[in-house]
Amino acid sequence: MSKFQQIPVPPYPGERDPGKESLVKVAALQMEPRIGDKDHNVAATLKIIDEAGAQGARLMVLPELCNTGYIFNSREEAFALSEEVPEGPTTQEWIKAAQKHNAYICAGITEREGNHLYNSVVVVGPEGYIGTYRKTHLWNEEKMWFEPGNLGFPVFSLPFGKIGCRVCYDVWFPEVTRILAAQGADIICDSTNWVVVEPLQTKEKPTAATSASQMSLMNSVYSICADRVGAERGCTYIGNSCITDPGGGFVAGPADPDKPEVVIAEINVMAARMRHWSAFNNPHTDRRTDLYDEFLGYYPEDEEW
């Protein structure tokens, strides 16, 4: 049983029953990369992808920088481990895995474009490479290796719904999830390396998982959060990978804080589109964008609320 209380979404009879047409199995793939050992790490991703694929997962999320590890000693080390996207060998292996399982994969990678490095997520599927998200909010020493993301907040249309991506620290910035939801995202795929930050966050108090559940609640989206486990160059990770629903509940996880694990659930994507809380209230259309969007400095071009 989840250690978190389920928060139900109040029913609204004026909306269509989500029915069965948008059921899909999704999975957060919790693993333990080794810093600098790309061959091992990519093999580990393929193994856990096979495990999730055998359980019928159609959408899989892997942790942040899962092909390289996270705590670099220098920019030179990060650069040596980086790859171009989608031409690099890691992305190509993930494309083959997606085709093997007829699934979609979002996975964290150390991306190189020219002389620039990015903490990125690649999205691949049976049809091949789909797109990239580059982490917007860089955490701690990441600022010494990576450039801030410059691709905005893309939303990708998949056969069962629309997805957007976050990376780890992005969850602390509500604008990220809000902009993705405003563009019609049903599911947020969050590749993470959640770390112990005393006293804010520990393995027993996964603040980031709680934040993800609240972002789901406030934006009527699912979140698939794939964290890593283990320790790396003095940094300890908290695990607790999870899948949260539009009501803020944990439909799967939080996972074990110390062990690799496939966190899997069947979700109904249509539930993310049932956004009324009462006959007169929809938090999405009730937004006063005339008052605060300009102040916040963003204008979603394709807002679907």
Name the CA dihedral angle for 256, 90, 155, 145, rounded to a multiple of 10 degrees: 80
The single residue of 25, 83, 135, 142 carrying the catalytic annotation is 135
First-last CA distance in the chain? 34
By three-state DSSP, how is residue 35 classified? coil
Q: Is 20 a catalytic residue?
A: no
Are 95 and 128 spatial neighbours (Cβ–Cβ below 8 Å)? yes
* Three-class secondary structure assignment of 147-205: CCCCCCCCEEEECCEEEEEEEHHHHHCHHHHHHHHHCCCCEEEEECCCECECCCECCCC
Cα separation of 259 and 252, whole Å? 16
Cα separation of 239 and 230, whole Å? 8
Q: Is 111 a catalytic residue?
A: no
Q: Is 168 a catalytic residue?
A: yes
The single residue of 64, 83, 93, 232 carrying the catalytic annotation is 64
The single residue of 66, 106, 165, 168 carrying the catalytic annotation is 168
Are 29 and 262 spatial neighbours (Cβ–Cβ below 8 Å)? yes
Catalytic amino acids? Answer: 64, 135, 168
